[in-house]
Structure 1
């Protein structure tokens, strides 16, 4: 394994000069810095994390707080985690994934230990008890998910209210007048998953404005319960010609449910989901969907956090960045079928 001495030897400089070139603690000429960087690349040198932290006051590690909850679809959460970790790696940062059930204690423990340069929080609740700790932490933080009070923190999320309106408007323009909206389990909303209500409420309001009948239902997020529930909803609303899915497990289960009933989209029913492009590829989903932008949200959160870490954090005003929803048309929407 290469050492800082090896880097200095290959670059033709002293050990201290090589160290200063890497740490940025002293002014080094561009020519010398380039020689050191070339030596680093040729030797595939990785600085010792502890020594780097002492030299630069940076650990080059981001703390990512996420939980795999039983009432949420784990593969969907993984898309958000990958968005963060991939962009962090591109920016030269490792990621410390914290999945503790007690997020408050985990956040306080890691912040006090100075093990990371900053934090990104997933599973953000409407009244998230981690936010007080984050606001008081020595390290900056960013949220993927919009809380009720976003003051003082950078926030990144999909505009779920706009997504709900877009779903209804898209099918209304095609002539649909009776729709089913399938949301996450109700206890996701009860524990603070406000994105569920933001989408549902705006969809219901827009449907009422357009004269569209919208049947809203909470549904399970695991098999086999979600498959049975989808079948029950189709039976309960035979006049519905469109299906809106704000539940990734429902989207993953729908192909087999429709096949078992001899139905297809859009010939028999139009379908619009809400999930990431990567999620659609993973489960080979053929449905038109609003991209949940999991990867993009992670990238934006990391980039903003790194800017705070590597510059004067106080000079950046907190932002709330809501991504405008867009529909990826995969051919599962059409004019309503003629019912006899």
Structure 2
């Protein structure tokens, strides 16, 4: 196993100088630091995490609290996890994924044991029970998801209100006057998933302003239930010409449903979803969609968290950033069909 002594010998410096060059605890000339970096790269040296934590009071680990809930579509959650872990790795941090349902207990345990330098929270509820502790924890935290009270935390999320308006406006401009909106399961709303009603309420308000009829439904997150749901919604409103999806499971099931009904988009119905570009590629979805910005949210959240970890004297003002919706046209929207 390669040691710090091996790195020092290869770089032609003392063991302590090599250690300081890696930890940054003392000023080392750029030339020496570059020699040490090259030695590390050539030898494949990995610092011992325990020793590094003792020396620097940092673990170089981010705690990612993301619960895999049965009423949410797991592949969609993975897009957010990848966004966080990829950027953390780029910045030299490992990620500790904690998926236990009792997020408060997990957060307190990891914070008290100093297993992580900071936290990223997913599955953020309107009144999230983890936030009171996070606001007082010794480690900083950041949320991907907008709670009711953003005091004392950094928050990044998609602007779901604007997303609902863009969906309705896009189809209204093409001449559609009757739409169906399929949201996440009702259980998501009951436990505080505000993004569901933020989009739905905004879509309803915009539709009312434009004189558009919109039928709103909660859909399942599992197969075959979501397929049955889609058939039921389409059967109930045969004159609807637009379908809005704030439910990844519904988007994944829709190609099969339309095939079974001998329908296609946009010939028979125009479709706009809300999911990430990676999600669309994973399920080969041909539908126009608002990008859920999972990668962008993960990148921004991790960069803000790392800045707080590494610059404790930075201004304490917290950020709340809502990413504006960006629609990606994949050819599933058009003017409504004209029936004789």
TM range (shorter): over 0.9
SS of the counterpart of 1:315? Answer: coil
Shift of 1:60: 0.4
Deviation digits for residues 267-294 of structure 1, max 9, x if unmatched? 0000000000000000000000000001
Aligned ranges for residues 1-340 of structure 1 at < 5 Å? 1-312=1-312, 314-340=314-340
Shift of 1:316: 4.1
CA distance in structure 1 between the partners assigned to 2:244 and 2:252 by the alignment: 13
1:140/1:313 contact within 8 Å kept: no
TM-score, structure 2 as length reference: 0.99
Deviation digits for residues 56-84 of structure 1, max 9, x if unmatched? 11110000000100000000000000000
CA distance in structure 2 between the partners assigned to 1:201 and 1:27 by the alignment: 55
CA distance in structure 1 between the partners assigned to 2:199 and 2:153 by the alignment: 23
Shift of 1:312: 2.2
1:145/1:156 contact within 8 Å kept: yes
SS of the counterpart of 1:334? Answer: coil
Shift of 1:314: 4.9
* 5+ residue gaps, structure 1: none
1:158/1:323 contact within 8 Å kept: yes
Count of residues in Structure 1 that have an aligned counterpart in Structure 2: 340
CA distance in structure 2 between the partners assigned to 1:224 and 1:30 by the alignment: 61
SS of the counterpart of 1:156? Answer: strand
CA distance in structure 1 between the partners assigned to 2:28 and 2:332 by the alignment: 59
SS of the counterpart of 1:69? Answer: coil
Stretch of structure 1 that moved more, 52-61 or 310-319: 310-319
Deviation digits for residues 130-175 of structure 1, max 9, x if unmatched? 0011111000000000000011100000000000000000000000
TM-score, structure 1 as length reference: 0.99
